Amino acid sequence: MKKKQYDLNFKKMVVAKGEEIGNMTAVARQHELDPKMVLRWARELNRKDLDQLEGTSIKQAKFIPTAEDYAQLQKENEKLKKLYAEQALERDILKDLLKKTNPHLRIK
């Protein structure tokens, strides 16, 4: 099923009519729309950044990573690698210790 896209003028008209009547659900039913969608439109239109409204929803700012972001991720990656290596070593030591104290237990 294809999603139907409504233009900004239609959204404003429906929300204005709903605010005038005081019942968004009734207006949504008149136009054969989902009431939740009309309420979402009203929330979006009440925001200050109306110029960012698109036909379907609010545009998201695109995240562009910088060199600092990459450096921070590399540091975090190295830290996690060290932590993993320490835990693996600790696990191996505990396995060896368990084998020595309880030879009848075979841990693979």
Q: What is the pLDDT of residues 46-99, one digit of tens each?
A: 875 555 555 444 455 677 889 999 999 999 999 999 999 999 999 999 998 888
CA 31 to each of CA 4, 8, 36, 54, 82: distance values in angstroms, whole numbers, following the listed order:
13, 15, 13, 20, 60
- Tell me what pLDDT residue 51 has: 52
- Tell me what pLDDT residue 56 has: 47
Q: pTM above the 0.75 mark?
A: no
Residue 77, burial from CB neighbour count under 10 angstroms (0-12, 13-18, 19+):
exposed
CB atoms within 10 A of CB 99: 13
Residues written for the chain: 108
